[in-house]
Amino acid sequence: MSASTSPCKLVILVSGSGSNLQSFIDGINNGSLSADIAAVFSNRPKAYGLERAANAGIATEAIDHTEFESREAFDAKLMERIDSYSPDLVILAGFMRILTPGFVQNYHGRLLNIHPSLLPKYPGLHTHQRAIDAGDPQTGATVHFVTEELDGGPAIIQAAVNIETGDTAETLAKRVLTKEHIIYPQAAQWFAEGRLTLESNNAILDNTPLSAGGYQYND
């Protein structure tokens, strides 16, 4: 779609504080992101991200995953509610659920996630500690299309940070998060402008397939 016609309609999914959600709200407000957030969903009714959204005048819905008998039942309800907003793009912003294949397929090519490592390194949890323990000189964050392979979809954009002597997982996470707040709205903006697509399991930017790590962001 083109940013010159109507803004890209987003639905954003959160489980926690929603700091990446805030970066989208801020990007829309300052004009760097040509999008509207139609709704924010959480699987945790008390997630602060819902409060952030409400404070910004965005519709919110809490669908408590503990009230469903199976992952499939929860995802089916979540899809039903998301689809009622007819989003162009679905954003996972700290949504701490492993999604079913049916959910992922329903949003093929329009479902993004951000992961706190330089994928394909360290999919899954505890990424910063794993990078420190391995003696890596750098870590970072990766925005990627979501596919059925956990944290395995094609990378769109990465930002690296240096691992300093004395870093802990917590100090590293804070520095990586500042990069996340830059690169995640950027990826959404490329999508909104019609420049970013998923084709045959390849991320395509400006008609060119991206490399395995995606576009490398530098300050």
Q: Which CATH number do you get for residue 141?
A: 3.40.50.170
Q: What is the pLDDT of residue 5?
A: 67
How many separate domains does the chain show?
2
Number of Cβ within 10 Å of residue 124's Cβ equals: 10
Distances in whole angstroms, Cα of residue 190 to Cα of each of 3, 85, 132, 193: 9, 21, 32, 5
Q: 63 lies in which domain range?
A: 1-107
Q: 48, 73, 107: which is the final residue of a domain?
A: 107
Q: 107, 138, 165: which is the final residue of a domain?
A: 107
128 catalytically annotated: no
- Shared domain for 75 and 155, answered yes or no, is no
- Shared domain for 124 and 212, answered yes or no, is yes
Q: Which of 158, 96, 143, 155 is nearest to 124 (CA)?
A: 96
- Shared domain for 102 and 5, answered yes or no, is yes
pLDDT in tens, the chain (219 residues): 444 468 999 999 999 999 999 999 999 999 999 999 999 999 999 999 999 999 999 999 999 999 999 999 999 999 999 999 999 999 999 999 999 999 999 999 999 999 999 999 999 999 999 999 999 999 999 999 999 988 999 999 999 999 999 999 999 999 999 999 999 999 999 999 999 999 999 999 999 999 999 999 998
- Shared domain for 70 and 96, answered yes or no, is yes
Q: What are the residues whose beta carbons fall under 8 Å from the beta carbon of 93, sequence distance 6 or more? A: 12, 13, 14, 18, 20, 21, 24, 49, 114, 184
Out of 65, 115, 144, 181, the active site residue is 115
- Shared domain for 81 and 53, answered yes or no, is yes
- Shared domain for 219 and 198, answered yes or no, is yes
Q: 72, 107, 142: which is the final residue of a domain?
A: 107
- Shared domain for 119 and 102, answered yes or no, is no
pTM: 0.95
Q: What is the pLDDT of residue 209?
A: 97
